[in-house]
Amino acid sequence: MWFLKSQDEVLKELNVNPSIGLTNNEARKRLDQYGPNKLKGKPKKSIVALFFAQLKDMLIYVLLAAAAITIVIGEYSDAIIILLVVILNAAIGVAQEHKAEKAVEALQKMTTPRSLVRRDGEVVEIGSEEVVPGDIIILDAGRFIPADIRLIESANLQVEESALTGESVPADKNALANLSDPKTPLGDKVNMAYMSTLVTYGRGEGVVVSTAMDTEMGKIAKILDEDKVEMTPLQRKLDELGKILAYLAIGICLLIFVIALVQKRDIMEMLLTAISLAVAAIPEGLAAIVAIVLALGVTRMSKKNAIVKKLPAVETLGSVNIICSDKTGTLTQNKMTVLKNYTYGKLTDVSQSAKNITGSHDEIQLIKTMVLCSDATYENDQGTGDPTEVALIVLGGKYNLTKVALNKDHKRVSEYPFDSERKLMSTLNINGDGYRVNTKGAIDNLLNICTTALVDGEVVPLTKKMKDEYLKITEKMSDSALRVLGAAYKNTTEIIEPEEMEKDLTIIGLVGMIDPPRLEVKDSIHEAKEAGITPIMITGDHKNTAVAIAKELDIADSLEQSITGAEIDEMSDSDFAKNINNYRVFARVSPEHKVKIVEAFKSHGNIVSMTGDGVNDAPSLKYADIGVAMGITGTDVAKGASDMILTDDNFSTIVHAIEEGRNIYNNIKKAVIFLLSCNLGEVIAIFFSILMNWPVPLHATQILWINLITDSLPAISLGMDPGDHDVMKQSPRNPKESFFARGAGARAILGGLLIGLLTLGAFYYGLWEHNYTFSNISASLGTKEFKYALSYARTMAFVVLAASQLFYSLSMRSSTKSIFQVGLFKNKYLIGSIVLGLFLQLLVISVPAFARAFGVQFLSINDWGLVLVFALIPLIINEIIKIFMRVAKKKKE
């Protein structure tokens, strides 16, 4: 609480004389005590650690156990295939996660390399890492501040703190200010200056009170570095699904052993059967397929100006129902703009896109004074200097009163610089044969030194009624959150002293400016609301300013929907979380408040997106379900902490990204349900064969081939299905909604049953063709003829299983629309994967080397026709069910 203490108290506590500073010996001692003035980061995980972290999954445990058993019983080819699957999945996971967090590194780069300090009575320049608590820091314009300091001297000192506070305008600093409220917001601590902020005007001195991780910037670094990793809704669902499938696989294997004991079967044979079932129950390609579908979604989004850093973030976007957005630079343009000007009796609105405006005599004089009394520059659409003055120069350009031309015609010969006590600035410029004082500043202070007013080109006495009118217009502009500046002048015949400039002036008028909303944002917010998403404004700016912008953008309706950081501090965490839904605007907040706001919304089960561009946004970007940074105006810190970066800094890109996220989730769901249908079919085929005391219809290697090759291609293609344009007319998906909601579970079970039973049917038909039935199978086991018949029957089952899954994928594109309504050839990737899958299946059967490896034989022409008919049945039945569903839906309507 250094800002609450007087200068003497601070200096005494830090044991330093400001006129001498620390001695070099004392500085070395303190450097040993406090350490270098450098932000620290936690050690990053190695590739090996990341790899083994991927293996902590129930599905992987089951597969590893299956691999171990196959090695023990000598089935090395099966073991190698299973282990390759495990390694592939782990490698994909490592590739996703091995993107080291760059937020803290960016914060480290932001710290200034050199600083001016007073040591042993002399001013010396040292590296910022050598700065210690108690050092006396010398501040001047253009210099970064190396640590958190309590100011002990200030002369017209202004510090640009937008990275920490979110305010567009540099903050006035006052070393003599005495603050008494311990809850004073960061932006109002006028007697303090903070690490990595920039001095834009004036000069000052301060004593270092905090260095490194104890600074405000350090606190942000700590928040960013906390190892808090939350699973996305998709990751949670896949994790739950993985556990269910793993337990299911273990349960089925145990059940098989019980059946085997009852049927007195060979234990080694049952081990292989159990492994086949475990492999059948687990969709080995699921993790890889989801990663590929997400990666393809990322590629599509990058073409729409959204770069996704973390793959699961794509899906998270689809669940977002709260968008918390920083105001400055995200919802607004981050450049002050004059919207109104007033000369007595005339209020003029200034369009943001206006050019070549022909103003009245009084307007021209008002703008001429404003531009001449400014130090900023603006050329080629780039401004330098104070944002307020840049706005005035841009205004001059709209009236064809450019700074270059005015300075050429009215050279400045003297000035009275701005200071925070007078709140005025004056210049003396050549004007014809004489000189003219041009003064700008706070309207109250200006009216106190004016005796006349410019009205319709004439100078008239300034009456109380006129003063009240100026103040009334000022109040009206302030209520609209405009920042108001007044302008006055007087003519002289000679060069006068600065102290004489601000006496007996003529008031010309005033201007109102604001950091205006981005032009396209209002439409985007309307679209977001239609999609069931609530936009929230979070800013370090003042309450009135924030609410005015929020009202204009339709984020908030009234002042009651806003709350300040100080008011948040007065509430308990539980009360704040309870009332969080009453607020749409959060003003004067610190980085800690932003995190608290995000967490309060999340406590209600919301999926929260946070957008921002400043250093102050970084912690909340990291804590949000999805953090979105601005690519152009965003700091490296914000980009490092985010999940997604907008390359065009356009709020509307977020809405497009949410639409893409929703479609990607729907596509992933299609792929998952399809894979589970296929795996269920495999489990049913094997389990029923054991239950009926038949030979197993499929080998583990055949199942792995289907799971990794035949299933995977259609699943990836379903993940690339064209998006549904009506998806943004629906409410956000409940993140707790099961994969199996809305009839998806029933479709998976139906598809699995049909595929499994038809696979068994083809297997039995293959045996029957060779004169083997239920009654004579057991007597023929081990004979050469039966082995041939068994191999042939397994080939039929193998083909039916693979082909039925390929054809069934067509039906998965929509739960209600027929394959013709969605467009049979609209998803060219799916058609291509079906053709390729059938070709690969034919290749496995017809090439002798492959046929031996998979234990299959070439089928007769008649049997090829039969297996293709069997394979089409699940698709046909599913399409017939869809017809009844559409009829039932129409009746309800």
Could you list the active site residues? Answer: 326
**φ/ψ of residue 737, rounded to 5:** -65, 135
CA 706 to chain centroid, in Å, comes to 37
Residue-level length of the chain: 893
Among candidate residues 607, 840, 818, the one with its CA nearest the CA of residue 714: 840
The DSSP H or E segment spanning 124 is: strand 122-127
Are 605 and 321 a contacting pair, CB within 8 Å?
Answer: no
Are 315 and 661 a contacting pair, CB within 8 Å?
Answer: yes
**Alpha-helical regions (H) of 41-75:** 47-54, 58-72
Record the tokens describing residue 790, joined without a space: 């068994």
| Cα distance between residue 664 and residue 666, in whole Å | 5
| Cα distance between residue 482 and residue 485, in whole Å | 10
Are 506 and 454 a contacting pair, CB within 8 Å?
Answer: yes
Among candidate residues 148, 154, 151, 152, the one with its CA nearest the CA of residue 209: 148
Q: Which residue has the tokens 């102050």?
A: 616
Strands 337-343 and 534-538: unpaired
Among candidate residues 778, 753, 755, 775, the one with its CA nearest the CA of residue 695: 778
| Cα distance between residue 629 and residue 172, in whole Å | 28
| Cα distance between residue 806 and residue 834, in whole Å | 6
Residue 501: burial class (beta carbons within 10 Å; 0-12, 13-18, 19+): buried
List, in sequence order, every beta strand (DSSP E) within 411-550: 412-419, 424-431, 434-441, 450-455, 458-461, 483-492, 505-514, 534-538
The CA-based angle 374-380-386, given to 5 degrees, is 30
Among candidate residues 440, 333, 335, the one with its CA nearest the CA of residue 390: 335
Record the tokens describing residue 411, joined without a space: 């050279």
Q: Measured in Å, how far apart are the chain's first and last C-alpha atoms?
A: 65
User: What are the counts of helices (DSSP H) followed by strands (DSSP E) for the chain?
Assistant: 34, 26
| Cα distance between residue 281 and residue 707, in whole Å | 10
Residues 6 or more apart from 353 whose CB is under 8 A from it?
A: none
Long-range contacts of 766-773 (CB under 8 A, 24+ apart): 766/792, 766/793, 766/794, 766/795, 766/796, 766/797, 766/863, 767/793, 769/793, 769/863
Strands 122-127 and 192-193: unpaired
Q: Which residue has the tokens 């299905």?
A: 721
Q: Which residue has the tokens 């004439």?
A: 458
Are 367 and 399 a contacting pair, CB within 8 Å?
Answer: yes
Among candidate residues 214, 178, 218, the one with its CA nearest the CA of residue 3: 178
DSSP string over 576-613: HHHHGGG-SEEES--HHHHHHHHHHHHTTT--EEEEE-
Residue 549: burial class (beta carbons within 10 Å; 0-12, 13-18, 19+): buried
List, in sequence order, every beta strand (DSSP E) within 145-242: 148-160, 171-172, 192-193, 198-210
Residue 45: burial class (beta carbons within 10 Å; 0-12, 13-18, 19+): middle
Rg (CA), the chain: 37
